């Protein structure tokens, strides 16, 4: 990548970082992306599945097609980096690098525009609402694959802790499917000094948090993989009152449908059992959020070949992660692959979803090259 293009991309990335928008609210981000596509002279359609944008690059006689996807939304996190381009929107931050993903895709578009050695159609998918708000499903429901045909689809996520610019690709499972879990315990409120006249939901919630861990450790085959984590406890309005309602919120992650179903059933069974033990009732809601990201091996090979051709370091030995990504919904409809590209050291709080995180601008050329090269490989594939 020429230095001038790299510097241009850095400027775009830092603008997006300074102006993050939450899922379902990426309107200024979408306008910025559309303006950059206009500068590049790439036709595009806005408003796909909400704030989504699809741009189309087409040339030559080939009828082959491929999709490249980037996400655009930020997180409800207060940034602590102190950088000159730190978030100007209080309580909102690009703490997962979607600003870098978006600009990497714009960079890939610029590289493909300047490269005469390909023929076919490349669909550039700029997706909103990846962070658990159904952005991929919204774009699919709005006819993404029918309106913008693509035989395969590819994407990437930056990966702190992996050497900067290194491409990692998996055959098969890459990232877990996720679901949101909400459990509300309904008891009987009363004075904290007279607990025998109440049904204490706070005590029951404590037992439930611990008991839920037995779902994985004692109900799932040890050779399979699953995680249940409770991240929020909501309840109580006064220190001297036993409250009548406590809600636990969390997530579970799995790779296989049968394991997901077993975890769902286990959560419901344990919640009902704990509630019955303490003389109260439980209301359980489990909302599927993201399907597992499972790479097609042939498509993973295209990523590996493209990385090699671009002179990038390639890793094929990394284990999958229990983190989730809604790219899996695309892979349930089309073959494709999702790569990780190293963001460099992740220590010092520079990991994903951390208030001290920042996308590494030095990897923009590698990410753009990997995406563009993969698209070219896919257009040549049988």
SS3 state of residue 166: coil
Sign of CA dihedral 358, 362, 363, 364: positive
DSSP 326: T
Do 262 and 216 have their domain in common? Answer: yes
Do 80 and 131 have their domain in common? Answer: yes
Mean pLDDT across the stretch 22-51?
98
Query: What is the C-alpha separation between 160 and 358, in angstroms, rounded?
Result: 10
Cβ contact 91:105 at 8 Å:
no
Residue 301: exposure state from Cβ atoms within 10 A (0-12, 13-18, ≥19) = middle
Mean pLDDT across the stretch 222-230?
96
Residue length of the chain: 382
Q: What is the pLDDT of residues 118-154, one digit of tens each?
A: 999 999 999 999 998 999 999 999 999 999 999 999 9
In a domain, 179, yes or no: no
Local confidence band at 289 (pLDDT 50, 70, 90 cut-offs): confident
SS3 state of residue 219: helix
Mean pLDDT across the stretch 177-203?
97
Do 151 and 114 have their domain in common? Answer: yes
In a domain, 224, yes or no: yes
Do 54 and 138 have their domain in common? Answer: yes
Do 248 and 310 have their domain in common? Answer: no
Percent of the chain residues topping a pLDDT of 90: 96
First to last CA, the chain: 29
SS3 state of residue 375: helix
98-114 and 364-380 helices cross at what angle (nearest 10)? 60
Do 143 and 80 have their domain in common? Answer: yes
Query: What is the C-alpha separation between 260 and 280, in angstroms, rounded?
Result: 27
pLDDT at 132: 86
Last residue of a domain, one of 279, 304, 337: 279
Taking the whole predicted model, whether its pTM rises above 0.85 is answered as yes
pLDDT at 33: 98
In a domain, 211, yes or no: yes
Last residue of a domain, one of 239, 254, 279: 279
Decide if pLDDT at 350 tops 90: no
Cβ contact 34:45 at 8 Å:
no
Structure tokens at 294: 């499972």
Identify the bridge partners of residue 56 per DSSP, sorted by sequence position: 123
Do 28 and 76 have their domain in common? Answer: yes
Cβ contact 47:55 at 8 Å:
no
Do 8 and 103 have their domain in common? Answer: yes
Local confidence band at 349 (pLDDT 50, 70, 90 cut-offs): confident
pLDDT at 128: 98
Structure tokens at 200: 């204490």
Decide if pLDDT at 347 tops 90: no
Do 37 and 160 have their domain in common? Answer: yes
Do 193 and 151 have their domain in common? Answer: no
Query: What is the C-alpha separation between 317 and 150, in angstroms, rounded?
Result: 29
Task: Show the CA angle centred on residue 377, arms to residues 52 and 176, nearest 5°.
Answer: 55
In a domain, 316, yes or no: yes
Q: Can you give the CATH number for the domain in which 246 is found?
A: 3.30.70.360
SS3 state of residue 12: helix
- How confident is the prediction for the chain on average, in pLDDT? 97
Q: β-strand 120-127 against 65-71: which pairing, if any?
A: parallel
Domain count along the chain: 2
Question: Which residues, 6 or more positions from 238, have their beta carbon under 8 angstroms from its beta carbon?
Answer: none
Do 163 and 213 have their domain in common? Answer: no
DSSP states along 231-254: EEEEE-S-TTEE-SEEEEEEEEEE
In a domain, 69, yes or no: yes
CA-wise closest residue to 126 among 34, 42, 19: 34
Cβ contact 103:48 at 8 Å:
no
pLDDT at 290: 87
Q: How many CA atoms lie within 13 A of 155 on its CB side?
A: 30
In a domain, 180, yes or no: no
Give residue 212's domain range: 188-279
Residue pointed to by tokens 């109580």: 236
pLDDT at 77: 98
Do 65 and 211 have their domain in common? Answer: no
Mean pLDDT across the stretch 80-93?
97
DSSP states along 55-93: EEEEESS---EEEEEEE--BBS-------TT--SSTT-B
Decide if pLDDT at 382 tops 80: no
In a domain, 92, yes or no: yes
Last residue of a domain, one of 279, 300, 330: 279
C-alpha distances (whole Å) from 348 to each of 139, 166, 312, 341, 342 are 36, 20, 26, 19, 16
Query: What is the C-alpha separation between 226 and 285, in angstroms, rounded?
Result: 18
Percent of the chain residues topping a pLDDT of 70: 100
Query: What is the C-alpha separation between 297 and 256, in angstroms, rounded?
Result: 17
Query: What is the C-alpha separation between 217 and 229, in angstroms, rounded?
Result: 13
pLDDT at 206: 98
In a domain, 116, yes or no: yes
pLDDT at 346: 85
Query: What is the C-alpha separation between 145 and 278, in angstroms, rounded?
Result: 50
Decide if pLDDT at 79 tops 90: yes
Q: Can you give the CATH number for the domain in which 343 is found?
A: 3.40.630.10
User: How many other C-beta atoms are found inside a 10 Å radius of the C-beta of residue 132?
Assistant: 17
Mean pLDDT across the stretch 353-380?
97
Local confidence band at 374 (pLDDT 50, 70, 90 cut-offs): very high
């Amino acid at each position: 990548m020429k230095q001038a293009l790299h510097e241009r991309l850095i400027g775009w990335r830092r603008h997006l970082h300074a102006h993050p928008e939450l899922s379902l609210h990426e309107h200024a981000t979408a306008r910025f992306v559309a303006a950059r596509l206009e500068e590049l002279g790439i036709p595009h359609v806005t408003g796909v599945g909400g704030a989504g944008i699809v741009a189309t690059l087409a040339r030559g006689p080939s009828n082959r097609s491929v999709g490249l996807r980037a996400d655009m939304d930020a997180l409800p996190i207060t940034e602590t980096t102190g950088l000159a381009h730190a978030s100007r929107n209080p309580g909102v931050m690009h703490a997962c690098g979607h600003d870098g993903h978006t600009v990497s895709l714009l960079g890939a578009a610029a590289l493909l525009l300047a490269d005469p050695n390909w023929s076919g159609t490349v669909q550039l998918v700029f997706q909103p609402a990846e962070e658990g708000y159904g952005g991929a499903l919204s774009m699919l429901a709005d006819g993404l694959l029918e309106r913008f045909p693509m035989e395969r689809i590819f994407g990437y996520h930056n990966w702190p802790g992996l050497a900067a610019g290194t491409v990692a690709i998996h055959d098969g499972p890459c990232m877990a499917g996720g679901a949101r879990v909400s459990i509300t315990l309904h008891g009987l409120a009363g004075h904290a000094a007279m607990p025998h006249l109440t049904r204490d939901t706070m005590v029951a919630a404590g037992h439930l948090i611990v008991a839920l861990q037995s779902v994985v450790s004692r109900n799932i085959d040890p050779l399979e993989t699953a995680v249940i984590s409770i991240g929020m406890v909501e309840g109580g309005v006064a220190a001297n009152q036993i409250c009548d309602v406590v809600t636990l919120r969390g997530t579970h992650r799995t790779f296989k449908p049968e394991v997901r179903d077993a975890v769902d059933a286990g959560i419901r069974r344990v919640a009902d059992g704990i509630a019955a033990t303490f003389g109260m009732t439980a209301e359980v809601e489990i909302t599927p959020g993201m399907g597992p990201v499972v790479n097609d091996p042939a498509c993973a090979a295209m990523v590996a070949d493209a990385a090699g051709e671009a002179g990038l370091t390639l890793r094929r030995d990394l284990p999958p992660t229990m983190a989730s990504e809604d790219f899996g919904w695309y892979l349930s409809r089309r073959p494709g692959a999702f790569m990780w590209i190293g963001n460099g050291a992740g220590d010092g709080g520079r990991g994903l979803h951390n208030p001290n995180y920042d996308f590494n601008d030095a990897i923009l050329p590698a990410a753009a090259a990997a995406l563009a090269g993969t698209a070219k490989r896919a257009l040549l594939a049988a």
